[in-house]
Amino acid sequence: MTVQRKELPTGSQLIMGLNPPFGLKAALANKFIDKALEFEPKLMILIVPPETQRLDRKRKPYDLVWEDERFLSGKPPPLYLWSRPDWADKHKLIAQEHGHLRQHDLSRMDSFDKDKSSASHTMDDDYVDDTMLDRMLDHDFLKSTNDEDCSFM
């Protein structure tokens, strides 16, 4: 946890994926997440236990795009995808296009507005191309060449 802000791209150019050590009652996971949030990534993918502090309850809250308890071979911990609020509509639209959100889920998400989802960001804003997010949300991308599920390290 010694990485400094100047060592990574700015937040709108940054996607972080974390599978931190959990610790007792997710104490270590929460420390790793708090450090990662200092970088203000546009997207955070987390593999953490349910008792981890939710990112929508942080000082600078993130929006939950989706969570899946069965994605990782049907075993805990759940997989979460959190988005910075200024990117959330775009990320939720991508998740919906890939079948990760049901209509019921969309109706529960107050901030989701499909008609204006990409209005606030242009491709010039995207250092990390959103096709990368598309591929991450595509279950086939997370399969190895012999069609077995890959595991996260």
- Give per-residue pLDDT as tens, 123-134: 344 444 455 555
- Closest alpha carbon to 134 in 15, 41, 11: 15
Closest CA to 65 of 39, 85, 36, 40: 85
22 residue type, one letter: F
**Residue 128: what pLDDT?**
44
User: Token pair for residue 77?
Assistant: 């911990």
Pairwise pLDDT comparison (131 vs 37), residue with the higher score:
37
User: Are the C-beta atoms of 85 and 42 separated by less than 8 Å?
Assistant: no
- Provide the pLDDT confidence category of residue 135 given band limits of 50, 70 and 90: low
Per residue in 96-114, pLDDT (tens digit) is 888 877 544 554 454 444 4
Q: Centre a 10 Å sphere on the Cβ of residue 56 and count the other Cβ atoms it contains.
A: 11
